[in-house]
Structure 1
Amino acid sequence: MIQNTDVNLSNAKDKVENAVEKNVVKNIADNSKAITAQQVLIAGGGHVGLSFALLLANHGIASTLLEKNSYPTISPKDDDNRSHYLDSRNTALSRRTVQIYQEIGLWDELQSHACRIDAVQVSEQGSFGRAQLNKAEEKVESFGQVIENAWLGRKLLLAAQHEPLITLIDNANVSAVTQKADGVTLSFSYYGEEEQAQQLQGSVLVACDGRDSTVRQLLDIGTTTYDYQQTAIVGVVETDKAHEHVAIERFSPAGPLAVLPLTDPNGDGNDEYQNGYRRSVVWVCPKGEEKRYLEDDAHFLQTLQQAFGQRAGKFIAAGRRGAYPLTRVLADKQVDGRCVVMGNAAHTLHPVAGQGFNLCMRDAHVLAQMMNAQVLKGADIGDPTLLKRYEKARLSDQKRVIRFCDAVVHGFTHPNPVIKLARNVALVAFDKLPNIKPLVATYAMGLKS
């Protein structure tokens, strides 16, 4: 359905008629096939796709976004309170990502469910190496914010639904991509309906449709994959000690672990007086061992306690958890003619250090700026030369983040005692030597790309 209307459309004819009223359909070949002319087509309406559409709209650029799933019906008047105290997934937003949401005027809506990271503690289980980053020492407001995925998605969707430059189409199954010298045609059908394929025409197609991207496969873009042989257990826990806005990175023989601060159930995570006891947990275990961590709360809490000691206090409650196999997936190329692959379709990374989504946001921000520059000079927004320039401009940042994530994963799980000694010496050196922390902090906050 076309989501930024107030009418539930029951069949293809109604969809087409409604689109005509909104001046998006430029040509109707027959009553079952609509060809719409748009500057930018976006496949994939998750957090990256919605954010990219909003970035474009901030520059006055219209887009049509197709999402394969059904969007929920929500209203600004809906209850904002968290319905499940311990049931949520969360994302660590870097300082740069927060700045991007500030640019498009959305951060004020997001921050009530976000929690500042004022300090980061790094250590290895059973070793002497320790390091800490502190916002006062680095002279920053924070290193980033941890936000509930459900809240982020809700606010992005609401903003897109109320943005006249964005047309949302959900339940859309992309079936073909056709490129010509002057544009792209995207064919799709609606899930659960027997009807001929619909078509959209645009100057450029941006695929934000996830790790197993349909568009990437239709474009015959290959991938390079690496299986870490690990599974991430993700969830929310409660501790008896307030988090005090401290993120804890801990390395164990199984893999990297993280405990991140979260907001109180009804509080603002940026309130200096908040005493938050909720924490987001990313626990990495060898593949095949996830079942007991998912099903046995007592075992999960006991394992966390052993890994973290008393750094986070006592782990006293655990909520529903999800398990996610960890595989690095890198597209062999990110631009094909007038098509761009972005987000997890371009690079799916290990969650260590929480860099994946933030890297995607920097990609989206740069492409939106480059497209805006094309519009301002009256040039083709989907010019393949421009898109190749974008791809080249982003490679340095992407490669740096990928190398960093892999170095941390492999470096801190290698059992060799010599390597273990070296990494702990490196942690101590990082903590003590001048001029190193500011450089690392700058990269971690996404302020240098």
Structure 2
Amino acid sequence: MMHNQSVDIVINGGSTLGLLTALAILEHTALSVAVIEQNQITHETADPRYVALAQNSVRYLAELGIDPHLLGPGIEQIHVSDQGHIGQCRLTAKEVSVAELGVVVNLSALTQCITDKLYEKYVDSGRLLIYSGYVLQSVESIALAPLQLLVAPHTEAHIGPEVNPQATPFEDETPSVFTLSSELLFFADGERSPLKTELGFTKSIVDFGQYGVVANVAVDRVAYSRYHHPLTAFERFTKHGPLALLPIHTPAGQPAYQQWYSMVWCIAEDQKDGFAAIDLAALQEVFGDRAGRFCASTKPYVFPLKLTQHQGVVQRCICLGNAAQALHPIAGQGFNLGVRDIKDAVFILQSQIGAEQSVAHIAAQFSAQFTEYRRLDRAQTVTATSALVSIFSNDIPGVNTLRNFGLLTLHKYPFLKSLFTQQAMGEK
């Protein structure tokens, strides 16, 4: 059975960033959107990861009617240290006259808020179509307008009922294969789809030779109150890579210890097989006692750390967030960079589509305009993140002396701290 639906923009990828893209377009333009996601999109889609939303991201979410403060705690200071050396620095919200440096949220909770907003406001409006459990199989007529996108069920996913039956445009049975016509195609599918390279995006990978260990960890005793009041996020550099702790609310089903943290621990490749569970004693030895005594952890998730980019200009197609650049987590900038991608894409749409015009008249030039608009911010963030990996993931004599001097200098001079803190807050 074949059907043909027409929308202004198709978003391939219905995770947090893809759904946020849909919400931003619907809130700030009069365009119609279809979201294609290979997994089932539900109101309880589970994602154990946490992100630190920079102030820029917090403000943009507020514009879209989402208050991150309802989802997690605000970071009032950041403590940076270097294992085995005296270099350290504290960056505080008070020093830059703001209430907080960012907000830590669970991606599941954030995704649920976005999903609820979409279903509440737009699923019955005729402007939003959601294809849950489907994949974008191919794009035909890439050189012609509009794009013709072939969509099929994801064979590895369980195709169950929609969260809301009105999210699908079909009155009878859901088709096995169908065609979507669209003026623009946005990729928000992370690294997973080979379709990006098939269409002409150039893929590049830089392997950092590290693995990331993600888990939630708890402390049951506070060692130094100045690292809890104000509430503190930690970044500690080791010879194998950084160890970051973000303060979070007590995870569901876990005991309410003194404080829980979302941990990202970067390790060498030859260490990865030893992390079936978190060795709390080893964690304590590497991190020290600033946060308190580690007493509990959830099961860790271990993954390779690489910089994966999809670059180039493909007519009528753009990549957002991790689909464009999947960064090393050393600076926690990946999701915030994706939010800025969304913000600028929607700004271009807003500024170039008049009340009497459709998206068709700008579609052919949109990709080139977006790529140029985002070029500097993306390049600076990728370069800075990769440089931090090189500088802070080794114990080479001379290099460690310079970075310790840098941390001490940063801590000493308020002007430098203010500049650095503004960057940490996601300000361009």
Residue by residue over 1:75-103, the C-alpha shift from the partner in whole angstroms, topping out at 9 and shown as x without a partner, is: 9xxxxxxx9xxx93211111111111100
In structure 1, the partner of 2:353 is: 375
2:112 corresponds in structure 1 to 154
Q: Are residue 313 (structure 1) and residue 292 (structure 2) matched?
A: yes
**8 Å Cα contact 1:177/1:218 also seen in 2:** no
Residue 209 of structure 1 contacts residue 215 of structure 1 at CA under 8 Å; is this kept in 2? no
The partner residue of 1:284 within 263, 266, 270 is 266
Counterparts of 1:73 and 1:149, CA distance in 2? 12
1:221 to 183, 186, 201: 201
What pairs up with 1:183-222 in 2 under 5 angstroms?
183-192=146-155, 197-222=177-202
Report the CA distance between 1:437 and its aligned residue: 1.4
Which position in structure 2 is the counterpart of 1:38? 7
Aligned match of 2:17: 48
Measure, in 2, the Cα distance between the counterparts of 1:199 and 1:222. Answer: 26
**1:394 maps to which residue?**
374
Unaligned runs of 5+ in 1: 1-31, 76-82, 267-273
Select which of 138, 153, 160 maps to 1:176: 138
Distance 1:349 1:166 in 2: 30
Matched AA of 1:183: P
Task: Describe the SS at the equivalent of 2:69.
Answer: helix
Contact 2:3 2:175 in 1 (8 A): no
Query: 2: CA distance between counterparts of 1:302 and 1:290?
Result: 17
SS in 2 for 1:439: helix
Give 1:221 deviation, angstroms: 1.8
Give me the whole-angstrom Cα distance separating, in 2, the residues matched to 1:441 and 1:241: 29
**Distance across 2 between alignment mates of 1:375 and 1:369:** 10
Partner Cα separation in structure 1 for residue 116 and residue 375 of structure 2: 32
TM-score by length of 1: 0.83
How far has the Cα of 1:288 moved from its partner? Answer: 3.5
Aligned-pair distance for 1:407?
1.1
Quick one: distance in 2 between partners of 1:156 and 1:232? 27
Q: Which residue of structure 2 lines up, in the alignment, with residue 359 of structure 1?
A: 337
Q: Deviations over 1:252-293 (max 9, x none)?
A: 011011011112458xxxxxxx99511111001111422322
1:250 is aligned to 2:236? yes
Matched with 1:28 is none
Kept in 1, the 8 Å contact 2:220–2:257? The answer is no
74 and 125 in structure 1: CA distance in 2 versus 1, 3 angstrom threshold: closer
Q: 1:102 and 2:62 equivalent?
A: yes
1:302 CA displacement:
1.3
- Mapped to 1, the partners of 2:121 and 2:319 lie a distance apart of 24
Describe the shift of the 1:276–1:151 C-alpha distance in structure 2 as closer, same or farther (beyond 3 A). Answer: farther
Identity of aligned residues (%): 27
Higher mean C-alpha deviation, range 160-169 or range 422-431: 160-169
Q: Distance in 1 between matches of 2:257 and 2:347?
A: 40
CA distance in 2, matches of 1:69, 1:349: 23
Match of 2:245 among 236, 249, 259: 259
- Residue range with higher mean Cα deviation, 193-202 or 406-415: 193-202
Q: Contact 1:263–1:276 (CA<8 Å) still a contact in 2? A: no
Pick one of 384, 387, 393 that aligns with 1:407.
Answer: 387
Code of the aligned partner of 2:18: G
Is contact 1:161–1:168 with CA below 8 Å preserved after alignment?
no
The structural deviation recorded for 1:217 is: 2.8
Q: Is the aligned partner of 1:135 residue 2:93?
A: yes
Instruction: Return the offset for 1:195.
Output: 6.6
Q: Cα gap change, 1:91/1:74 in structure 2, threshold over 3 Å: closer, same or farther?
A: closer
Runs of 4+ in 1 over 6 A off after TM superposition: none
User: By how many angstroms is 1:342 displaced?
Assistant: 1.3
**Is 1:61 equivalent to 2:17 in the alignment?**
no
In 1, the alpha carbon distance for the partners of 2:351 and 2:296 equals: 51
- Code of the residue aligned with 1:358 in structure 2: it is N
Shift of 1:225: 0.8
**1 CA distance for matches of 2:288 and 2:188?**
40
1:46 maps to amino acid: S
Equivalent-residue separation in structure 1 for 2:33 and 2:306 (angstroms): 31
Q: Is the 8 A contact 1:174 1:214 kept in 2?
A: no
TM-score under structure 2 length normalisation? 0.87
Tell me if the contact between 2:244 and 2:264 (Cα under 8 Å) persists in the aligned partners: yes
SS at match of 1:336: coil
Alpha-carbon distance between aligned partners in 2 of 1:74 and 1:302, rounded to the nearest angstrom: 34
Q: For 1:134 and 1:241, locate their aligned partners in 2 and report how far apart those are by CA, in whole Å.
A: 23
Aligned with 2:305: secondary structure? strand
2:129 is paired with a residue whose SS is strand
1:182 deviates by: 2.5
Question: Partner letter of residue 116 of structure 1?
Answer: G
User: What SS does structure 2 have at the residue aligned with 1:430?
Assistant: helix
Cα deviation code 1:209-235 (max 9, x no counterpart): 111233313313221111011110001
Letter in 2 for 1:423: R
5+ long unaligned stretches in structure 2: 160-173, 223-227
Does the CA-based 8 Å contact 1:89-1:236 persist in structure 2? no
